[in-house]
Amino acid sequence: MRGSLAEAATGGDRGSPAAGRATDTPPGTVPHPVRTVGVVGAGTMGNGIAHVFAQSGREVRLVDADPAALTRARDTIARNLERQARRGALARPAEEVLARIDSRGELEALAGVDLVVEAIVEDPAAKLRLFRELDGLVGGGILASNTSAISITRLGAATRRPARVVGMHFMNPVPVMPLVEVVSGLDTSADVTERIVALCRELGKSPVVVRDSPGFVSNRVLMPMINEAVFCLAEGVADAPAIDEVLQLGMRHPLGPLALADLIGLDVCLAILEVLHAELGEDKYRPCPLLRRMVAAGHLGRKSGRGFHAYPEAGA
C-alpha cells in the first residue's frame, strides 16, 4: 500500500467536452488555487481527509447527515492532532487546525468550494446520487472521489463536468500513509489531473497517477491477497495469527492480510471484491463465503471491536 512519487500525469485532453458540459481551465493559464475543500462523509476516511487538508492550512467543510458521526469525527481528529503535537509533527497549533474544520449536516454548505472529496459508503448507486447532487451545488469546483474501486468515468458521466471529476484514493490511516492514487477517468482533463497531483504534494503526500480501472492498482493487487488469506482461514490451513505472521515474517509486511482487512473494514473489503468480481468477471475476485458471513454478523474489524482478531479497546 506504499507508493512512489509519480513524475508524469496520464494522457492529454480527451477531446472537446460534450454539449452542455462544463469546460476546464484553458491550457497555459494559471489554475485557481484550492483554498476551500468540502469533504462528504465523516467516517474513518472522511475525517482523515479533513484532517490533512486542515493541517495544510485550508478551510474545510466536513458534511455528514449524522450529527453523531460529525461529533465522533471531530473527537478523532482532535486526538490525532494531539498525538502529532506530542511527536513534534505539527507545523501549527492543534487548536488552529481543528478550527479550520467546519462541521455541517447539509450538502448546501459546499456551495462555492474549490474542491469536494467524496468519502461515503462504497456503493455505486449512493455515489452516483451524490455526484448528481454535488454537480448542481458546486459551481466550477473539482469533484473528487475517494472510492476504492468504483469507476471515476462512471461518476463523471453522472455530472455535467466529467472533465473535472477525478479520483483521490487516500490510504488508511490518512494522516500517516503517504500514498494517494490519483485516478484519471476517460474524460478527466490533463489540467485537472496535474492540479490534483500538485495538491497532493502540497499535502505532503506521494501521488501516483493511474488510469480508471476496477480497483485501480492498490486494491486490484491487495484484495485477492486478503481474500485468499480468508480462504486459508476458512479451510483450516492455519489460524488468523499464524496466517498474518507468515506474511509479516516471510514477506516483511507490516501487517498481516487479516489484520489489514480488519483495519480497512471487512464490509469495505467485501464491497471492493464485489465490484472487482462484477466488473472483471474473474473467479479470483469472488469473495470468500466466510468474509460474507463475517460482514452479515457485524464483525467488521477494528471499528466494530471484532473481526478476524479482537479489539477490546473498541468497546465491543
Q: How far, in whole angstroms, is CA 161 from its chain's centroid?
A: 21
> Are the C-beta atoms of 6 and 208 separated by less than 8 Å?
yes
Q: 283 pLDDT band (50/70/90 cuts)?
A: very high
- We find that the CATH architecture of domain 219-301 is Orthogonal Bundle (1.10)
> Are the C-beta atoms of 216 and 3 separated by less than 8 Å?
no
Q: Give the residue among 248, 247, 258, 255 at the shortest CA–CA distance from 294.
A: 258
| C-alpha distance from residue 80 to each of 46, 89, 262 (Å) | 14, 11, 20
pLDDT of residue 315: 56
Gap between the Cα atoms of 298 and 134, Å rounded: 31
Hey, do 36-211 and 219-301 end up sharing a CATH topology, with the first three levels equal? no
What's the mean per-residue pLDDT of the chain?
90
Catalytic site includes residue 253: no
Q: C-alpha grid cell for residue 300?
A: 467488521
pLDDT of residue 52: 98
Structure confidence by residue, pLDDT tens digits, 179-202:
999 999 999 999 999 999 999 999
Gap between the Cα atoms of 250 and 246, Å rounded: 5
Of the candidates 118, 145, 181, 218, the residue annotated as catalytic is 181
Q: Give the residue among 218, 207, 213, 219 at the shortest CA–CA distance from 152.
A: 213
Structure confidence by residue, pLDDT tens digits, 61-111:
999 999 999 999 999 999 999 999 999 999 889 999 999 999 999 999 999
Neighbours of 208 (CB within 10 A): 23
> Are the C-beta atoms of 152 and 184 separated by less than 8 Å?
yes
Beta bridge partners of 169: 181
The single residue listed with the C-alpha cell 469507476 is 151
Domain ranges of the chain: 36-211, 219-301
* CATH no. for 36-211: 3.40.50.720
% of the chain exceeding 90 in pLDDT = 86
Residue 175's H or E segment, with its range, is none
Neighbours of 108 (CB within 10 A): 10
Quick one: average pLDDT of 144-173? 97
Of the candidates 146, 151, 184, 219, the residue annotated as catalytic is 219
Helices (H), 20-164: 44-55, 67-86, 94-99, 124-137, 152-157
Structure confidence by residue, pLDDT tens digits, 109-121:
999 999 999 999 9
Catalytic site includes residue 181: yes
pLDDT of residue 5: 25
Structure confidence by residue, pLDDT tens digits, 2-31:
332 222 222 333 333 333 333 343 433 335
Helix, strand or coil for residue 190?
Answer: helix
| C-alpha distance from residue 190 to each of 24, 98, 117, 197 (Å) | 10, 33, 18, 11
Of the candidates 51, 169, 277, 299, the residue annotated as catalytic is 169
pLDDT of residue 23: 36
Of the candidates 148, 189, 218, 227, the residue annotated as catalytic is 148
Q: Give the residue among 109, 115, 110 at the shortest CA–CA distance from 141.
A: 115
Neighbours of 92 (CB within 10 A): 14
Helix, strand or coil for residue 181?
Answer: strand
Checking if the pLDDT of 133 tops 80, the result is yes
